[in-house]
Amino acid sequence: MKRVFVTSSVLTLCAASTALSQDVPVNPLREAYFGNLHVHTAWSFDANINGAISGPDEAYRWARGEAIPGGGGGPDLKILRPLDWYSVGDHAEYLGALPLMADPESPVSKHPLAAAISGDDATASFAAYTEILDGISNRRNDPILGDPVLLASVWEKIIDIADQHYKPGEFTTFAGFEWTSNPGWRNLHRVVIFRDTENVSDHAFSAIESDREEDLWAWMDLQRVQGAELLAVPHNGNASDGLMFPIGTSYGGSDIDSAYAETRMRNEPLYELTQIKGTSEVHPSISPNDEFANFELWDYTLESTASPPEHKVGGYMREALIRGMALEAEGKGNPFKYGFIGDSDTHNAASTIEENNYTGKFGFENNPEHRLEGPPGVSEAAAQQVREFSSGGLAGVWAESNTREAIFDAMVRKETFATSGVRMRVRMFGGYDYAEDMMESADWLQAAYDGGVPMGGDLAAAPEGTAPTFLIAAMKEADGANLDRIQVIKGWVENGEQKEQIYDVALSGGRTDGSEPVGNTVDVADASYTNDIGAADLTAAWTDPDFDPAVPAVYYARVLQIPTPRWSTYDAKALGVDVPDGLPTSIQERAWTSPIWYAPE
Amino acid sequence: MTARTILSSPLLHFFVLGGLVFAIYGLVNDSPTVADPEAITLQPAEAGQLVARFTATWDRPPTEVELEGLMRAWALEEAQYREAVALGLDQDDSVIRMRLSQKMEFISEAGAATLEADDAVLQAHLEAHAERFAEPTKLAFEQVLLPADAGDADAMRRALEQGADPATLSRGSLLPTRLPLSAETAIDRLFGGGFARTISELAGSGWSGPVQSTYGHHLVRVIELRPAVLPPLEAIRPKVEQDWRSTRAREMREEFGKALLERYDVTLPSAGEILAK
């Protein structure tokens, strides 16, 4: 376990960064940089309890390709292909305090729960975990774990470690934390990151200070007044029981009006669409006509009883995107105008996004048996939750360079996309006078920027008699699986009613009818697939055939891969057992672009 | 002498070992510091900390009503805290064992934080772990993605040699037609494994190819090839020092564990016999 904190010369490092930034390659047409900002290490209370042994320093080493200790009695963790950027976001609640329980110099070691937490007795650990989580949920601060001086010093160390690993142009890091509000086990969590480390808060705002999102935003606004630039990314609406995208009144008691919408959008431009605890783009019960809606769902609240949430509406992004436009039409502003990213939520320092290199969410899953049959000491219901974990997603960011500033600014303008973990790339632009054949030329990107808006943007009012054209290009991950199709998902509001329609705009293999599936080459017993089907890249210049200039609409693209083995299929092969009942043997990994919005004046 | 310096002396570890274990054990198991459970008193200084905490968060002091609320919450916390101690969750021996073992682990590597290294040590570390510090081979190049049927690659190459703009010849894709100086690994992540190595052999030969990537066939012109280099120590001293220190921490932990075991006559049964039972 890493407990040695090195306060290196920050001044020296800053000077080195400045010198380096002059050599940073810049592409004005932007490159896709892949990374994660939702990464927990042994410094998060729940990660520590559940077997993580690697801290923030090891997390960054992992993202750059080094092997790090994986805990759980399992092997070291090593990514197959390194990431472009990474940001540790440990829970602000008792930040870093649990590893200090083992530090005799620290007052935390005198905590009555320290013994249970540091132990390898699963039952005692779970009991302690529940007790601490319960304290957080009920906003009781623990006097030792939550000591403000301690938290501030751990926060400083987290910032130092992020600085030590930042290499402009090659590898970007951010200072960040997670605000972990879960009233009644309903997930309202947000990860917060800062644009730079020169202007950051003096501590990480925790849900113990307040579990109302309005108070988090007020605190963020205060940091802005003091010179910081920061943003929050909410996640796991699927586990919020409808609280994430509230209807009528927020959990914090606000009316959903234009003031609420403005504050929310000023603070959180992006939503995390997919991660280990499932995908919250869409639920089949809300969008029954979406044949691809049933993808890596995780239909639980955070309650230890493994109960499904009663309210699906208010927990899934697509419905909220469209409802936001309805609210705007009523003059209440649009509080759900989100761009998309995918992310991890690993609690073991390594985001393990690679399906064939999945090592689980918690340290105790660092063993294929514990992933398929359940970690020792947990109930069958909890074991099923572990089997249903997804391998986690990735955030793709179209930025001019691999630097903090460029990546953060791309997030603010929502020029981002989510993937279910694969490194496929996708771009979308919307405009009114794009030529049908312009994507055939290699310089189409400049023309696309000049004549319209990239994903995350707003289309201006349509010129008389025209409909918007969307340019969409997708490329498979290098050395990855081929693509099945590109879809455009359109949502709009008609006479107060929320509507959605899915268009297949590019199909591989010469198909003209999207109801014809791409096929499936997965050999389950061998946990393998072939690229005999699908396409390496797909493009579409698609004009909305049903466009009504008087009706507000939102458009985003979804790109599907051909089927490939799910992580559980790889594990079953490694163990020589059958894939457990109820799990899909193959999945269609995918990417989602941030939306483009059309609103008539 | 500070606690850190004491802890950094490996020799002292052995002398204090026994005593420390019992001292920590005492802290865990007895609760002599818990005051009369009937009395909960918030000292003015501690109340001041509540005010400071609130002020740090909200950039203003709390109002009287807010402070009264904070203090009431503090009293409730204190009562709950004492009850938690009284519950005796710390009495489970197997867990305490594990916790004390972790404390020992911490002590064994705590000294690394204060270690100083001279240039010779760091230079040796740099050379021993060159792969961690080397700047990788980097390439800058232009590329044209040929049509799916490969087209007339020779004609296209001639046009490029005569100064045609690659952007007007390449088929549309998300691949950049011109890539600035980038590491081989970054190029492979974009074009597929082995691509950087293949095109690095084309440096100096103008427009070349077709070269195959995971997406199709390309004509390529390498603009610059910068071979891998190990930077001198003075250019990356903080990085080397940090890496050396964390390596030392790991080594100290392992050495300590080994030395610790040597102090005991360890007898373990045969694994085969146990499993056979």
- The string of pLDDT tens digits covering residues B66-108 is 888 888 888 887 787 677 667 765 555 444 455 455 556 555 6
Q: What integer is the mean pLDDT of B46-69?
A: 84
Chain B residues closer than 8 Å to A105 by CB: 3, 7
**What is d(CA B48, CA B51) in angstroms, rounded to the nearest whole number?**
5
Pick the closest to residue A451 from A427, A465, A466, A471 (CA basis). A471
More confident site: A586 or B58: A586
Q: Tokens 């409808």: give the residue.
A: A242
What per-residue confidence (pLDDT) applies to A100? Answer: 47
**E strand or H helix that includes residue A394:** strand A394-399
- The one-letter amino acid at A263: T
**What is d(CA A6, CA A55) in angstroms, rounded to the nearest whole number?**
13
- The DSSP code for A302 is S
Q: What integer is the mean pLDDT of A325-352?
A: 96
SS3 category, A371: helix
Pick the closest to residue B167 from B199, B130, B142 (CA basis). B142
CA closest to B135 among chain A residues: A170
Pick the closest to residue A480 from A367, A354, A569 (CA basis). A354
Whether residue A166 is predicted with pLDDT greater than 90 in this model: the reply is yes
- The answer to whether residue B1 is domain-embedded is no
**Sequence-separated (6 or more) residues with CB below 8 Å from residue A62:** A54, A68, A77, A78, A79, A349, A350
Q: Are residues B143 and B76 in the same domain?
A: no
Whether residue B2 is predicted with pLDDT greater than 60 in this model: the reply is no
- Whether residue A6 and residue B174 make contact (CB cut-off 8 A), yes or no, is no
**3-state secondary structure string, A54-79?**
CCHHHHHHHHCCCCECCCCCCCCECC
- The string of pLDDT tens digits covering residues A313-328 is 999 999 999 999 999 9
Nearest 10 degrees: Cα torsion B175, B177, B180, B185: 40
- The answer to whether residue B21 is domain-embedded is no
- Whether residue A442 and residue B145 make contact (CB cut-off 8 A), yes or no, is yes
Note whether A210 and A204 are within 8 A (CB): no
Name the CA radius of gyration of chain B, rounded: 33
Q: Are residues B251 and B174 in the same domain?
A: no
- The one-letter amino acid at B203: A
Q: How far is B85 from chain A (nearest CA, A)?
A: 6
Q: Tokens 């290098």: give the residue.
A: A478
Q: Which of B85, B96, B174 sits opposite A427 (nearest CB)?
A: B174
What per-residue confidence (pLDDT) applies to A44? Answer: 81
- The answer to whether residue B237 is domain-embedded is yes
Q: Are residues B126 and B235 in the same domain?
A: yes
CA closest to A219 among chain B residues: B58
Chain B residues closer than 8 Å to A425 by CB: 174
Q: Which of A114, A128, A479 sits opposite B193 (nearest CB)?
A: A479
**What is d(CA A218, CA A203) in angstroms, rounded to the nearest whole number?**
15
**What is d(CA A85, CA A64) in angstroms, rounded to the nearest whole number?**
9
- Whether residue B180 and residue A25 make contact (CB cut-off 8 A), yes or no, is yes
- The string of pLDDT tens digits covering residues B156-185 is 899 999 988 887 777 778 898 889 889 998
- The string of pLDDT tens digits covering residues A222-277 is 999 999 999 999 999 999 999 999 999 999 999 999 999 999 999 999 999 999 99
Q: How far is B190 from chain A (nearest CA, A)?
A: 6
- Whether residue B176 and residue A27 make contact (CB cut-off 8 A), yes or no, is yes
- Whether residue A3 and residue B109 make contact (CB cut-off 8 A), yes or no, is yes
Q: Which two tokens stand for residue A498?
A: 């929320």
* β-strand pairing of A596-598 with A458-459: parallel
Chain B residues closer than 8 Å to A219 by CB: 57-58
- What are the backbone angles phi and psi of residue A18, rounded to the nearest 5°? -65, -45
**E strand or H helix that includes residue A494:** strand A483-494
Domain count, chain B: 3
Q: Which two tokens stand for residue A289?
A: 């006509």
Q: Are residues B120 and B187 in the same domain?
A: no
Q: What integer is the mean pLDDT of A479-488?
A: 97
What per-residue confidence (pLDDT) applies to A22? Answer: 55
SS3 category, A475: strand
Q: How many CB pairs under 8 A join A and B?
A: 197
- The answer to whether residue B26 is domain-embedded is no
Chain B residues closer than 8 Å to A202 by CB: 56
Q: Which two tokens stand for residue B34?
A: 């818990």
- End-to-end Cα separation, chain B, in angstroms: 54
- The one-letter amino acid at B207: W
Q: What integer is the mean pLDDT of A394-405?
A: 97
Chain A residues closer than 8 Å to B78 by CB: 143
Report the residue of B5, B95, B156, B248 to disrupt the A interface, i.e. the one with the largest count of A CBs within 10 Å. Answer: B95
- Whether residue A423 and residue B106 make contact (CB cut-off 8 A), yes or no, is no
- Whether residue B99 and residue A119 make contact (CB cut-off 8 A), yes or no, is yes
- The one-letter amino acid at A589: E
Measured from the Cβ of residue B238, the count of other Cβ atoms closer than 10 Å reads 16
**What is d(CA B135, CA B15) in angstroms, rounded to the nearest whole number?**
46
Q: Are residues B81 and B58 in the same domain?
A: yes
Q: Which domain holds residue B62?
A: 44-103
- Interface residue B214 vs chain A (CB under 8 A): yes
Q: Which two tokens stand for residue A267?
A: 């603070």
Q: Which residues pair with A346 in a beta bridge?
A: A39
Q: What integer is the mean pLDDT of A8-28?
A: 52
Pick the closest to residue A456 from A341, A561, A344, A332 (CA basis). A341
- Interface residue B243 vs chain A (CB under 8 A): no
- Whether residue A140 and residue B180 make contact (CB cut-off 8 A), yes or no, is no
Pick the closest to residue A41 from A26, A27, A57 (CA basis). A57
- The DSSP code for A328 is H
Chain A residues closer than 8 Å to B50 by CB: none
Q: Tokens 């992006």: give the residue.
A: A270
What per-residue confidence (pLDDT) applies to A2? Answer: 31
Largest CA distance in chain A: 74
- Whether residue A425 and residue B174 make contact (CB cut-off 8 A), yes or no, is yes
Q: Which two tokens stand for residue B126?
A: 């740099």
- The answer to whether residue B202 is domain-embedded is yes
Q: Are residues B217 and B95 in the same domain?
A: no
**What is d(CA B177, CA B170) in angstroms, rounded to the nearest whole number?**
8
What per-residue confidence (pLDDT) applies to B147? Answer: 83
Q: How far is B208 from chain A (nearest CA, A)?
A: 19
Q: Tokens 């905590």: give the residue.
A: A111
Note whether B74 and B42 are within 8 A (CB): yes
- Whether residue A143 and residue B56 make contact (CB cut-off 8 A), yes or no, is no
Q: Tokens 């020092």: give the residue.
A: B241
**What is d(CA B130, CA B230) in angstroms, rounded to the nearest whole number?**
7
Alpha-helix residue ranges (DSSP H) falling in chain B: 3-8, 10-29, 44-58, 64-87, 93-110, 119-128, 130-133, 153-161, 166-169, 184-191, 195-200, 237-262, 271-276
**What is d(CA A25, CA A401) in angstroms, rounded to the nearest whole number?**
6
- The DSSP code for A573 is H
- Whether residue A442 and residue B144 make contact (CB cut-off 8 A), yes or no, is yes
What per-residue confidence (pLDDT) applies to B96? Answer: 45
**Which range is least confidently modeled, A110-119, A354-363, A462-471, B6-15?**
B6-15
- Give, in order, the Cα–Cα distances in Å from A298 to each of A126, A179, A245, A283: 21, 21, 17, 10
**What is d(CA B267, CA A41) in angstroms, rounded to the nearest whole number?**
36
Measured from the Cβ of residue A187, the count of other Cβ atoms closer than 10 Å reads 25
Q: Which two tokens stand for residue B115?
A: 């270690």
Q: Are residues B245 and B119 in the same domain?
A: yes
Q: Are residues B124 and B67 in the same domain?
A: no
142-181 in chain B: CB under 8 A from chain A: 144-145, 166-177, 180-181
Q: What integer is the mean pLDDT of A324-336?
A: 95
Q: Are residues B144 and B209 in the same domain?
A: yes
Alpha-helix residue ranges (DSSP H) falling in B183-236: 184-191, 195-200
- The string of pLDDT tens digits covering residues A274-318 is 999 999 999 999 999 999 999 999 999 988 788 899 999 999 999
- Give, in order, the Cα–Cα distances in Å from A581 to each of A522, A576, B51: 17, 15, 56
- Whether residue A1 and residue B106 make contact (CB cut-off 8 A), yes or no, is yes
Measured from the Cβ of residue A315, the count of other Cβ atoms closer than 10 Å reads 26
Q: Are residues B222 and B139 in the same domain?
A: yes
Pick the closest to residue A172 from A400, A368, A362, A365 (CA basis). A400
Chain A residues closer than 8 Å to B212 by CB: none
Q: Tokens 């938290």: give the residue.
A: A151
pTM for the model: 0.81
- The answer to whether residue B11 is domain-embedded is no
Give the residue from B103, B121, B154 where a domain finishes: B103
More confident site: B24 or A376: A376
- Interface residue B272 vs chain A (CB under 8 A): no
Q: Are residues B118 and B142 in the same domain?
A: no
What per-residue confidence (pLDDT) applies to A468? Answer: 96
- The DSSP code for B113 is G
**What is d(CA B102, CA B266) in angstroms, rounded to the nearest whole number?**
20
CA closest to A28 among chain B residues: B176
**What is d(CA B240, CA A164) in angstroms, rounded to the nearest whole number?**
11
* β-strand pairing of A425-431 with A497-507: unpaired
Q: Are residues B76 and B209 in the same domain?
A: no
**What is d(CA A223, CA B154) in angstroms, rounded to the nearest whole number?**
60
- The DSSP code for A469 is E
- Whether residue A8 and residue B242 make contact (CB cut-off 8 A), yes or no, is yes
What per-residue confidence (pLDDT) applies to A486? Answer: 98
- The answer to whether residue B173 is domain-embedded is yes
- Whether residue A475 and residue B85 make contact (CB cut-off 8 A), yes or no, is no
**What is d(CA B91, CA A537) in angstroms, rounded to the nearest whole number?**
62
- Whether residue B216 and residue A536 make contact (CB cut-off 8 A), yes or no, is yes
Whether residue A19 is predicted with pLDDT greater than 60 in this model: the reply is no
Chain B residues closer than 8 Å to A26 by CB: 180
- The answer to whether residue B19 is domain-embedded is no
Chain A residues closer than 8 Å to B24 by CB: 104, 109
- Whether residue B110 and residue A142 make contact (CB cut-off 8 A), yes or no, is no
Q: What angle do CA A417, A28, A466 make, to 5 degrees?
A: 65
CATH number reported for the structural domain that contains residue B182 in this entry: 3.10.50.40
**Sequence-separated (6 or more) residues with CB below 8 Å from residue B227:** B137
The half-sphere exposure of A247 on its side-chain side, counting CA atoms within 13 A, is: 13
- The DSSP code for A481 is P
For chain B, what percent of residues have pLDDT higher than 70?
75
